[in-house]
């Protein structure tokens, strides 16, 4: 009986314990490099996200995505055990080949520790067993993924300056200024290396990529259901990023876009200047989710037409992050004229999204 009473007292204490406190995102903070290339463990959620278009030896296109997530659990801060799950490291990777008809994708997750899973502070250095993403002093990245589903080994070399999103890296995600992230991009990375699916030998590839690094503690408004996002490397050297946050009752809660032209001039588009309009939908035969895989995106006076490399680019990550999303290689046209390539991310269509 005494044991039961003590147990009930402990449960009551846990139920009334204060929720974990994470660092807020506030305007005015100056991003500092190279430190901000690294992890920010005092914030709840963080990701390093690389997407791109590759060319295979036969000249045909191949899309790729590699994402590493860091998630603070808010637990174990006072626990000296090396097994305490203070931080989680999660990895996603996918290849999009129209010859296959759908994504080849893989996922992995682990608690940080034992030098087997980590995201280092001070510079980009992420490990998840033998999966790696490392930034060298010259700014180049080495990315390697190996699994039964796919293999990727790539070198990414910067050709342009960093692109700070929002206001000097402070990126609003809703009407409440607290719904925000720190966010920068590296467009037009030059890519070389190898990639392959299944048991087939990896092929030599080359192309261009886009890297996002974003961290926050409260990015989404509670009324948000998900988002549509596009990042595009344009043929003239320009770079486009646009997103909208969708509400649970439908409609747009927030939106923003950044366009940097070939001369380096940056235009920021406010929520009223950005819109996403579906042009074609695709229904997943596995999850029954319906995705607007072709869209018309307006940024100010410019209209962008987005069409997928292939329709089935759905990624089921319920074994790691717990949600299903569409992440796909897309063609970009500007006012009807071919303009470049990018990636489109559609989140919250299978079920409302929470971070």
Annotate 116-137 with DSSP letters as a single string: TEEE-SSS-EEEETTEEEEE-T
Average pLDDT of 309-327? 87
User: Given this model, what pLDDT does residue 83 score?
Assistant: 59
Q: In terms of Cα–Cα distance, which of 54, 344, 49, 52 is closest to 195?
A: 54
User: Given this model, what pLDDT does residue 309 score?
Assistant: 97
User: Given this model, what pLDDT does residue 152 score?
Assistant: 97
Portion of the chain with pLDDT greater than 90, in percent: 78
* CB-CB contact of 197 with 219 (8 Å): no
List all residues 6 or more positions away from 187 whose beta carbon is below 8 Å from its beta carbon: 160, 163, 210, 231, 233, 239, 260
Average pLDDT along the chain: 90
User: Given this model, what pLDDT does residue 76 score?
Assistant: 59
User: Among 24-33, 171-180, 315-324, which stretch is predicted with the lowest mean pLDDT?
Assistant: 315-324
Tens digits of residue pLDDT in 194-243:
999 988 889 999 999 999 999 999 877 888 889 999 999 999 999 999 99
Bond into 34 cis (ω within 30): yes
pLDDT band at residue 82 under the 50/70/90 scheme:
low
Domain ranges of the chain: 34-78+86-347
Average pLDDT of 24-41? 95
Regarding predicted confidence, which is higher, 322 or 315?
315
User: Given this model, what pLDDT does residue 347 score?
Assistant: 94
Q: In terms of Cα–Cα distance, which of 142, 134, 146, 138 is closest to 202?
A: 146
User: Given this model, what pLDDT does residue 223 score?
Assistant: 84
pTM: 0.90
Average pLDDT of 74-95? 77
Which CATH code for domain 34-78+86-347?
Answer: 2.40.370.10
Tens digits of residue pLDDT in 257-301:
999 999 999 999 999 999 999 999 999 999 999 999 999 999 999
User: Given this model, what pLDDT does residue 2 score?
Assistant: 34
User: Given this model, what pLDDT does residue 52 score?
Assistant: 97
* CB-CB contact of 121 with 39 (8 Å): yes
Does 78 score more than 70 pLDDT? no
Say how many CA atoms lie within 13 Å of 184 toward its Cβ. Answer: 16
* CB-CB contact of 66 with 145 (8 Å): yes
pLDDT band at residue 3 under the 50/70/90 scheme:
very low
């Amino acid at each position: 009986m005494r044991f039961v009473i003590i147990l009930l007292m402990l449960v009551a204490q846990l139920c009334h314990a204060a929720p974990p406190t994470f660092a807020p995102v506030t305007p005015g903070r100056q991003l500092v490099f190279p430190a901000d290339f690294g992890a920010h463990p005092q914030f709840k959620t963080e990701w390093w996200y690389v997407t791109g278009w590759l060319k295979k030896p036969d000249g045909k296109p191949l899309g790729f995505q590699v994402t590493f997530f860091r998630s603070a659990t808010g637990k174990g801060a006072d626990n000296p055990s090396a097994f305490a799950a203070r931080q989680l490291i999660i990895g996603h990777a996918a290849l999009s080949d129209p010859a296959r008809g759908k994504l080849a994708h893989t996922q992995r997750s682990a608690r940080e520790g034992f030098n087997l899973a980590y995201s280092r502070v001070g510079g980009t250095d992420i490990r998840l067993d033998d999966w790696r993403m490392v930034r060298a002093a010259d700014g180049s990245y080495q990315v390697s993924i190996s699994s039964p589903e796919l293999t990727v080994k790539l070198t990414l070399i910067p050709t342009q300056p960093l692109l700070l999103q929002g206001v000097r890296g402070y990126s609003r995600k809703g009407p409440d200024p607290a719904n925000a992230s720190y966010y920068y991009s590296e467009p037009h990375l030059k890519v070389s290396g190898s990639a392959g699916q299944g048991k087939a030998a990896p092929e030599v590839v080359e192309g261009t990529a886009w890297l996002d690094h974003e961290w926050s503690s409260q990015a989404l408004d509670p009324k948000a259901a998900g988002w549509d996002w596009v990042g595009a490397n344009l043929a003239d050297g320009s770079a486009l990023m646009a997103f909208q946050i969708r509400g649970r009752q439908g409609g747009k809660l927030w939106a923003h876009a950044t366009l940097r032209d070939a001369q380096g001039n940056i235009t920021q588009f406010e929520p009223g200047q950005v819109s996403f309009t579906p042009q074609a939908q695709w229904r997943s035969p596995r999850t029954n989710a319906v995705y607007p895989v072709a869209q018309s995106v307006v940024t100010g006076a410019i209209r962008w037409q987005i069409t997928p490399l292939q329709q089935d680019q759905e990624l089921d990550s319920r074994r790691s992050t717990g949600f299903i999303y569409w992440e796909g290689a897309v063609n970009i046209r500007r006012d009807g004229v071919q303009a470049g390539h990018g990636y489109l991310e559609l989140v919250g269509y299978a079920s409302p999204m929470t971070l």
